[in-house]
Amino acid sequence: MRNDELRNSRETPASRNLGEGRRMWKWTIRIVGGLVAAVLLAVVVSVGLYQHWLTGHERDLRRNSAIIQTASGPIEYAEIGKGLFTSMRSA
């Protein structure tokens, strides 16, 4: 009876192994695709956070910077915060 069932069905032991290989490839592609998507998402979020930080940093520099003339030409500098030397001068 088993031989008749094999002849009548399209599935053979060899085709059963082929199906397992296809399933394995599907899962491999899913896993690799998921990893690629996760890396892409991490890159996009990182670039967005970096751009946000850079914009704020540049805004602070423009707001708190000054240009002075030196022997080598004009330079831009920024005074940000209160440090030890600022406290010592005013004392």
Number of domains in the chain: 1
Range of the domain at 28: 2-90
Those residues with Cβ within 8 angstroms of residue 74's Cβ, 6 or more apart along the chain or in another chain: 67, 68
Secondary structure of residue 64 in the 3-state scheme:
helix
Mean pLDDT of the 2-18 span = 59
Report d(CA 55, CA 13) in Å as an integer: 63
pLDDT in tens, 15-63: 566 677 788 889 999 999 999 999 999 999 999 999 999 998 888 777 8
